[in-house]
Amino acid sequence: MLFVSCILYHVHISPHHQGLVLWEGSIAKSGTVQCRVRCLRPSPQERHHASAPEAPEGWPAVLDVQFRASISSVVGKDVYGAHPPQDRAVLRMIAAPGDAADAKGFAGFCQYLGGKQRAGVVKGLSGGRTAYLIPHSVEVCKALHVPVEPVCMLMLIVGPAARK
């Protein structure tokens, strides 16, 4: 399955995203902060396919991506398909507004992951949960059964602790 990353260099919050912010913090890659981001509340369709409690409660200020996994295994049977909807959450992450450096860092991070066809992995969230940061694309949205939006974002699958 081919996954194409959605890369846009002008990132903004559309009016329908206002008031939907669950968490705001930073993304780091192996300890180096890349940008500030906002995690958005899931849409009703996203809650239908993944109904775990909205995950960001208790998240640290920085989500440090220390590992990568193939996008196809994350959106397929190894992660998304391995957990029932009540054990996983699907969220969206966008660049925090107001700073061109954050928008550029976010687009660069999405390009980095998409270019390698990998999802970023953040382990050790509250309750031992694991988050997978996946570059947004038509193929990813189709696999996750969520609507495609014309904005640069990461899709997050938050589920039980990753297997070792």
Q: For 82-104, b where at least 16 C-beta lie within 10 A, e where not — what string?
A: eeeeeebbbbbbbbbeeeeebbe
Domain boundaries of the chain, sorted by first residue: 15-159
Flag whether pLDDT at 10 surpasses 60. Answer: no
How far is residue 102's CA from residue 113's CA, in Å, rounded to a whole number? 16
Instruction: Work out the average pLDDT over 33-59.
Output: 73
**Percentage, residues of the chain above pLDDT 70:** 79
Average pLDDT over residues 87-105: 89
Amino acid 54: pLDDT: 56
Cβ-contact 119, 78 below 8 angstroms: no
User: Quick check: 124 and 63 in contact, CB under 8 A?
Assistant: no
Fold entry, domain 15-159 = Ku70; Chain: A; Domain 2 (2.40.290)
- Per-residue pLDDT averaged across 46-61, rounded? 67
Beta bridge partner(s), residue 95:
37
pLDDT band at 162 (very low <50, low <70, confident <90, very high): low
CA distance 51 to 73: 20
Task: For the chain, give the mean pLDDT.
Answer: 81
**Higher confidence at residue 17 or residue 30?**
30
Reply yes or no on whether the pLDDT at 1 is more than 60: no
Query: Taking residues 114-127, what's their average pLDDT?
Result: 92
| pLDDT in the model for residue 19 | 58
Band of residue 50 on the pLDDT scale cut at 50, 70, 90: low
Confidence band for 21, pLDDT divided at 50, 70 and 90: confident
Q: Hey, what are 10's tokens? A: 């002008």
Is the confidence at residue 110, as pLDDT, over 70? yes
| 63 in Cβ contact with 31 (< 8 Å) | no
